[in-house]
Structure 1
Amino acid sequence: MDQAHRADSVRERLIDAGVELVMTEGSASLGLREIARRAGVSHGAPRRYFPTHHALLSAIARRGFAGLAARFAAATEVTGTPRDQLRSLADAFLEHAAEHGGMFELMFRHDLLDSEVHASDADAPGPRLRESTLPLFARLVELVAQDRAHRTEQGTGPSCDSAPPPALTAAALWTNLHGIAVLRANGSLQLAFPRAGEGPDPLVTAALDAHLGRADA
């Protein structure tokens, strides 16, 4: 194995070990020594293959965004209106957060997303972490715009002149969904609003109604 392939192999082992660690023990467990131990390399190896600790954490979090992107793609393959796709996307977002709590927490750490703060991460392999989030948000904006156009055609929505920009509505909806995910993860939401039974999540329905307008209006 030549040096370049060996370097790629070690990087992947370190990322794999970090993914396993964050999925089983949470984001607070991601110390360099423990990642190196699980990857079967020396304690100094992470520093040789990633310029900073943040660069390695970003590479681990990028795996989480890849999984979320796959869920988004599957969710928006559903047939139906843009509202149907938004509903499916919102459910997928919350399911991903619930099933991958430690990774979800890591993915949205501001210090990782705000990559300009870490100029030394510029030499890290792969794109900056925030480049992994932007296509997901762009898809949300696209669906919000399509839903608005559909409702306008049907005469059930506000005019485009009176509505806020689709990006603003999408950001508000994303914030609402993220808040639901975080409050559920720490158990706070269940105390105030326990969800009973099966069927559509009433909080997702309320979020969509609040930001898009009622579906039956």
Structure 2
Amino acid sequence: MTEEEAGLRSRLIEAGVDLVAQEGAQALSLREIARRAGVSHGAPRRYFPTHLELLSAIARRGFADLGARAAQAIGDGAASPRAQLTALAGVYLDFARTQRGMYELMFRHDLLESGQLGLRETSLPLFGVLVDLVGRTRPRADAPLVAGALWANLHGIAQLWGWGSLQLATGVDDFAPLLRSVLDAHLGPEER
């Protein structure tokens, strides 16, 4: 791929990232991405043979962004594993709240099932961090299993929060109390 082709490919991805941030995942048509990138409506097909491939490239940017935010929140590892887990979970929920369109795109079943997203390279490293922190917080637990349950719980909070259901059901306007309850349920009560 030439430098010019790589630049156009990157422009298409950036246009998609901007579009999903502004209008949500449902707005990601090839035509609109091409228009925003300033290219013909057929240009995306030269660099992304299918719509799913372009959407996957955009979603990979979301996973990279979430991973960078998580790494920054965890820091240098000086905090306790429980504190790092709390920070990681908070970043996950905040990302889902503030980057709603990208979050929805990242977990679209058609992308995950297509193999185009590169799930192993995009989301599993972050899950590995979660497993490691769970293992260090609960050394005798089956860390992958507990981490999977914790992730499922966080994903459920993110979805239900985005729909407004949890605020209505619980009367809370901040997900912090829910996060504490989830961590206590999966890790045991925090020692004080």
Taking only the aligned residue pairs, the percentage that are identical comes to 57
The runs of at least 4 consecutive aligned structure 1 residues that moved more than 6 Å come to none
Once the two structures are TM-superposed, the CA of residue 214 in structure 1 deviates from its matched residue by 1.0
Alignment of 1:1-217 (within 5 A): 4-77=2-75, 79-116=78-115, 121=116, 128-149=118-139, 160=140, 163=141, 165-196=142-173, 201-216=176-191
Report how many aligned residue pairs link the two structures: 191
Alpha-carbon distance in structure 1 between the residues aligned to 2:171 and 2:16: 33
Once the two structures are TM-superposed, the CA of residue 70 in structure 1 deviates from its matched residue by 0.7
Over the aligned positions, Cα root-mean-square deviation in angstroms equals 1.7
Whichever residue aligns with residue 107 of structure 1, its letter is M
Once the two structures are TM-superposed, the CA of residue 114 in structure 1 deviates from its matched residue by 2.2
Gaps of 5+ in 1: 122-126, 150-159
TM-score, with normalisation over the residues of structure 2?
A: 0.94
Whichever residue aligns with residue 187 of structure 1, its letter is G
Is the contact made by 2:167 and 2:173 (CA closer than 8 Å) also made in structure 1?
no
Alpha-carbon distance in structure 1 between the residues aligned to 2:149 and 2:113: 20
Is the contact made by 1:59 and 1:129 (CA closer than 8 Å) also made in structure 2?
no
TM-score, with normalisation over the residues of structure 1?
A: 0.83
1:159-194 CA distances to partner (integer Å, 9 max, x unpaired)? x2xx4x110100100010111111111111111012
Gaps of 5+ in 2: none
